[in-house]
Amino acid sequence: MNAETDIVALASAPGTGAIALFRFSGPGVFTKLQALFFAHYKSQQWPWPARKALLGKIIYQDRTIDEVILTAYPAPHSYTGQNLAELSCHGSEYIQRELLQCFYACGFLPAEPGAFTLRAFLNGKLDLSQAEAVADVVAADSRAAHEQAMKHLRGGYSRHIEQMRLKLVDLAALLELELDFSEEDVTFANRSHLQGLLHNANSHLQELIDGFYWGNALKTGIPLVITGKPNAGKSTLLNALLQDERAIVSPIAGTTRDTLEERFILGPYTYRIIDTAGLHDGGDTIERLGIERSYKAIAQAVLVIYVWDAHAETFSQINMDALQAHNPRAHFICVANKTDLSHAPLHNALPISAQQQTGITELKQLLLNTTQQLQPQADYLVTQARHVHALQHAQKALQAVDTAITQNLSTDLLAFELRDALQHLAEISGKVSSEELLTSIFSRFCIGK
């Protein structure tokens, strides 16, 4: 992980475009580019003015490869904190290839995925959780996912965790002080005060951990499961919502055997909408396997639409409580389908006809309103599984401190567990990190970011 090399990468999407953008970072970037870039205007020749778009040519071995715009960002005022340059050229794949070859010939090395953001992290431009947010901003495909990523990028979340960590650092310092004076049997940290703070920190950590349920749903898509009896019209409803003949529909009960998942954007949200095998007792081996998967999908859902075939089934035959027992945390919506055939009382179910596509707009609106109501208004939702693990470990260590106090155990044991908790909290912002961790985080980035 050598961050002192001079790297280059195509930062725009691969393929032909109106323009393409190359990015360079490293201490020797400007020296290397000087041999290739010739500014059009005398006033813009070397030394290049900082952060100004310069028109010029890339000339390599007496051959003009392209007319380009170069912007130089001298260290430390750049994304990576190093000398950084961005060069936009005409977007043909041929030009991109030719330029890349001449950059390599001049000594630039190809950038690994996430290399620029890694350097920004190593130079203190952003912390690790902000770096992760950069990847999320690039990947966000809905307003809700984008909003979450931007919040994390601004760093409020990191500061929030850091504030909690610093309070615990104060406590740890008092305990360490006691250890220094261990001969004299003094206590600097009042134990009941300490426990009070631990309880606060603990419930705070729990809040953050709980927030991942929604944080993850908003980032990766809200799991929305369509369930009901066989033939109720689940697959027809999926198709109506997607406006696409995605799933097979047939009058034969047991058509859908496996779960089928699609992304579905509604207002600010992305849903992972999942069609499932119809629920019933009995069925052959394959159907049973399918039904098992249906229950598994329900258990992981945030929202569940129960499709009630109002034509074939009376409302009293539906056992919603038994269904909700599979996922008490999820929100269940009941729709009465096939209302084109049935005039049965609706019992608060939303009337639709998936086949005739009536009530679909109302159902979308209901989904939207329900999601808006359910989405927590917390300032900071945890969106990374890595953070949840760190928070859970920190919580476990704090609980161990608490137990140790109750059992009147020695100060060095308290100090040990508290240090462990601090270590885990510090992992979130990357105050402590290993090369392995950094590699696993940044390898998920795209090249050029």
Ligand X SMILES: Nc1nc2c(ncn2[C@@H]2O[C@H](COP(=O)(O)OP(=O)(O)OP(=O)(O)O)[C@@H](O)[C@H]2O)c(=O)[nH]1
The strand pair at 331-337 and 303-309 is best described as: parallel
Question: Between 174 and 312, whose beta carbon lies closer to ligand X?
Answer: 312
Shortest distance in whole angstroms from residue 326 CB to Mg ion? 19
The contacts of residue 162 (CB under 8 Å, 6+ apart) are 429
Shortest distance in whole angstroms from residue 338 CB to ligand X? 4
Shortest distance in whole angstroms from residue 342 CB to ligand X? 9
And the tokens for 310? 């109002």
Shortest distance in whole angstroms from residue 297 CB to ligand X? 13
Question: Between 228 and 430, whose beta carbon lies closer to ligand X?
Answer: 228
SS3 at position 38 = strand
Neighbours of 271 (CB within 10 A): 21
The alpha carbon of 276 is separated from its chain's Cα centroid by a whole number of angstroms, namely: 26
355 binds, among Mg ion, ligand X, none (CB under 5 to 8 A by kind): ligand X
The alpha carbon of 280 is separated from its chain's Cα centroid by a whole number of angstroms, namely: 36
233 binds, among ligand X, Mg ion, none (CB under 5 to 8 A by kind): ligand X
Question: Between 306 and 380, whose beta carbon lies closer to ligand X?
Answer: 306
Residue 184 carries which DSSP code?
G
> Which residues of the chain form contacts with Mg ion (CB under 5 A)?
234-235, 255-256
Shortest distance in whole angstroms from residue 195 CB to ligand X? 54
429 binds, among ligand X, Mg ion, none (CB under 5 to 8 A by kind): none
> Which residues of the chain form contacts with ligand X (CB under 6 A)?
228, 230-236, 249-251, 253-256, 277-278, 337-338, 340-341, 353-356
Q: Are 388 and 381 in contact (CB under 8 A)?
A: no
Shortest distance in whole angstroms from residue 108 CB to ligand X? 56
Taking alpha carbons only, the member of 219, 20, 223 closest to residue 138 is 219
Question: Between 250 and 370, whose beta carbon lies closer to ligand X?
Answer: 250
254 binds, among ligand X, Mg ion, none (CB under 5 to 8 A by kind): ligand X
- The Cα–Cα gap between 417 and 404 comes to 9
Question: Between 56 and 283, whose beta carbon lies closer to ligand X?
Answer: 283
341 binds, among ligand X, Mg ion, none (CB under 5 to 8 A by kind): ligand X
And the tokens for 124? 């203190």
Q: Report the 3 state secondary structure along 269-285.
A: EEEEEEECCCCCCCCCH
